């Protein structure tokens, strides 16, 4: 079995490209158009994996796919190369939020580690949303306040329209001369992180958001 190499959001991206190709078949586009769509999809996909080995490129190659069954098989095969979100224990989570003495814990058993780019859960009682993400091989935790909005909006993380909450971070980025200062960084993000994780095709925004929070602000 070859090494796993596809992250959740990359898989979402691949699925989206497959949908584009399927669409051009459904529209009855001619062969040249379909081939051009396939070429473009493939080049966008392999751009995500600049260091892909030949056997990995084979997994990603979709030039020969035509039927619905072939597309399904392609995605199913690609999904067997999905990387897992790092296994994390309750103890590790508590350590990530040392100031929160009444930390509400996520139900880790209910989370499919193959299907998330970031781990998130909410504490409705205190209006807090927690995020954990692996950045540069290190797990980072972020505690945010949230306000659920009555109107749908575009989520900054997955860039799609849906039920969003306005979140502002309350962790890290302390001012050196004032340890109680918390930099507030606001964003609209999906209230339901499992939906967000299904739609996310890039981590650019998420990583920028995290970097900003952890940036020294002295
Ligand atoms: Zn989202």
The predicted structure's pLDDT at residue 100: 87
pLDDT per residue as tens digits for the range 29-40: 999 999 999 999
Pair 131, 197: CB distance under 8 Å: no
> Distance, CA 190 to ligand 1 centroid (Å)?
4
pLDDT per residue as tens digits for the range 12-24: 999 999 999 999 9
- Asked whether residue 41 carries a pLDDT value surpassing 90, the answer given is yes
> Distance, CA 153 to ligand 1 centroid (Å)?
10
Answer yes or no: CATH 1.20.1280 is held by domain 8-79.
yes
* Cα separation values, 181 from 14, 76, 171, 185, 186, Å: 42, 48, 9, 13, 16
Rounded Cα distance, 155 and 158, in Å: 6
> Distance, CA 159 to ligand 1 centroid (Å)?
6
Rounded Cα distance, 95 and 85, in Å: 18
> For 86-113, what is the mean pLDDT?
91
pLDDT per residue as tens digits for the range 154-172: 999 999 999 999 998 864 5
> Distance, CA 157 to ligand 1 centroid (Å)?
5
Q: Which residue has the higher pLDDT, 2 or 193?
A: 193
Domain locations in the chain? 8-79, 90-214
Lookup: tokens for 71: 């597309």
């Amino acid at each position: 079995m070859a090494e796993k190499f596809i992250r959740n959001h990359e898989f979402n991206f691949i699925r989206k490209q497959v949908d584009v190709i399927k669409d051009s078949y459904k529209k009855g586009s001619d062969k040249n158009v379909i081939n051009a769509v396939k070429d473009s999809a493939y080049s966008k996909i392999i751009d995500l994996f600049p260091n892909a080995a030949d056997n990995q490129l084979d997994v990603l190659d979709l030039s020969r796919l035509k039927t619905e069954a072939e597309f399904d098989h392609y995605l199913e095969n690609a999904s067997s190369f999905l990387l897992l979100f790092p296994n994390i224990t309750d103890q590790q989570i508590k350590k990530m939020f040392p100031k929160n003495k009444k930390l509400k814990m996520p139900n880790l058993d209910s989370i499919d580690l193959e299907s998330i780019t970031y781990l998130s859960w909410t504490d409705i009682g205190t209006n807090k949303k927690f995020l954990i993400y692996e950045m540069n091989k290190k797990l980072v935790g972020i505690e945010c306040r949230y306000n659920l909005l009555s109107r749908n909006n575009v989520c900054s993380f997955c860039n799609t329209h849906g039920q969003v909450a306005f979140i502002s971070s309350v962790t890290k980025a302390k001012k050196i001369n004032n340890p109680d200062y918390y930099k507030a960084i606001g964003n609209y993000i999906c209230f339901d992180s499992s939906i967000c994780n299904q739609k996310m095709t890039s981590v650019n925004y998420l990583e920028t958001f995290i970097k900003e929070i952890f940036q020294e602000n002295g």
